[in-house]
A and B are shown apart, each in its own frame.
Chain A
Amino acid sequence: MVNVIAVLSGIVASATFADAVTPLSDAALVSAGRAIYQHSCASCHGARGEGARAWQQPDRRGELPAPPHDSSGHTWKHSDAMLYRIVQQGWRDAFNKTERLTMPAYKGQLSRTETIAVITYLKTLWTPKQRKFQREESRRQPFPTGAP
């Protein structure tokens, strides 16, 4: 697993360097994003993006569990800009009983290209109708430009 991640990290690192000149193809982004997802996200959000059990109700600590990213969830309702911000800056529900970020901040751990790659992978888990909705939401709120 570590070797796979290392190889994919190399791909993504190269992609980061090349991004300004030659954008990655969607297939390359999806492939890289899938690897990043399995490494960094799947333990909470599920290997297939199915989310934690009973994710709509607070758990014993009073925290909302990790939601699904597949078509059963609501990730597809968020614009690219919002998804990018949440991955980079983390998130906690305003009514959680704890103060910690239940969604950790990946700023400093995932580059701009890596963040875009993992979000691009998430889009493969949605229905065409959901992808269309999300594309329209992202028109006004696209991925940030110039972020590291």
Chain B
Amino acid sequence: MSIALRPIWHRPAVVATLLLAGSFAIGSAAAAGKIIAPSAKIVALDFDVDNNALFKAYSRTLYLSRTEGRDWEAIALPNVINRGHITSISIPAKSRGVLYVAGPGFGVLRSEDDGRRWNAINSGLPSNDVVALSSHADQPETLYVLVARRGIFRSEDAGSHWRLMDTGPRAKVVQFVHSNMPGSMQTGWLFAATARGVSRSMDCFCGWRDAGALGRPVTAVAYQRAHPKEVYAAAKDALFFSADGGEHWSPLPSPGHNVSALVATPAGTLYAAVSSGGLFRSADAGMTWHRVDE
């Protein structure tokens, strides 16, 4: 693929060098250290298992914390982010330094160096209207993206090639996550937060089915890697927990209204972002919550 079709974006510090070298550099949209107002909505969370680091994304910015959410450093993103907005971030397992950011308008971006440079990996996708993205729980080169009005595409080579696998659940999907829960015909499962609850499919894509009977719009879904049958789902004013892969759900105390993003760490810590801007942490499986970003 030519450089023109697959531009590389760099942090400001390295842009000049690359421009001299003739690369197509666009510069940085999100300057390091930019202050985010507490009221801004966090749209996505993910946890880097290898580096024990938490990531949060706002509409057009990305941040990293190595201190359980107390301190944050900005990760510069290319200006192409301004063509749309972020809906998903994903840090693949066993793949040090690799980050993915996705959203409608710009598609999927990949960095292999902790966010210093970014590549667009949309070649083979029908459009840049990427609604959601998840990396495979165990296979770092395998990615899944939902493209609006088309369905779920899979790549097994870190975004070099994409393949339409499925039209996705019938209900509108807002986010999904690949899970290493056992019992799949293939390698795992996909759990989707939809307008009608949580939907679940084996990753061979042989049918989406309702996971339990939440029967309400779900805004975020997450699971516990070390105990993958443990699944969390956020609805408008409630948080739910399932110990059996989504068959049955029980309510948990919610950290606030409209949870917009959820992630569970291998150590069992849960993070939840609420749409009014706060980030909350629970060390007891969602029974109590403490705000971490004040």
B-binding residues in A (CB < 8 A) = 56, 67, 74, 77-78, 82, 86, 91, 94-95, 136, 140
Contacts and interface: CB of A to CB of B under 8 A. Distances in A.
Given A67-B206, A74-B206, A77-B205, A86 B247 contact: no
User: Chain B interface mostly helix, strand, loop or mixed?
Assistant: loop
B204 A94 contact: no
Contacts of A136: 163
User: Most chain-A Cβ atoms within 10 A of its Cβ — which of B186, B205, B245?
Assistant: B186
A136 B163 CA distance: 10
Contact of A78 (B163, B204, B247): B204
A78 B245 contact: no
A82 B245 contact: no
A136 B135 CA distance: 21
Contact of B185 (A82, A95, A140): A82
A94 B209 CA distance: 12
B232 to A, nearest CB: 18
Contacts of B184: 94
Given A86-B185, A94-B184, A74 B247 contact: no
Nearest to B205: A77
B207 A95 contact: no
A136 B206 CA distance: 17
15 contacts: A74-B204, A74-B206, A74-B207, A77-B165, A77-B205, A77-B206, A78-B185, A82-B186, A82-B204, A86-B185, A91-B185, A94-B245, A95-B183, A95-B245, A136-B163
- Interface bin, chain B: 10 to 19
Interface in B199-218: 204-207, 209
Contacts of B253: none
Contacts of A94: 182-184, 245
Contacts of A140: 156
A95 B247 contact: yes
Contacts of B209: 56
Interface string B180-204: 0011111000000000000000001
A78 B206 contact: yes
Nearest to A140: B156
- Closest 6 pairs between A and B when the two form their complex, measured CB to CB: A94-B183, A74-B206, A77-B205, A77-B204, A77-B206, A78-B204
A78 B202 CA distance: 11
A90 B51 CA distance: 40
A61 to B, nearest CB: 16
Given A95-B245, A95-B247, A56 B207 contact: yes
A69 B209 CA distance: 19
Given A67-B206, A77-B204, A94-B245, 19 more contacts: A56-B209, A67-B207, A74-B204, A74-B205, A74-B206, A74-B207, A77-B165, A77-B205, A77-B206, A78-B186, A78-B204, A82-B185, A82-B186, A82-B204, A86-B185, A94-B183, A94-B184, A95-B183, A140-B156
A95 B206 CA distance: 14
Nearest to B166: A77
Nearest to B182: A94
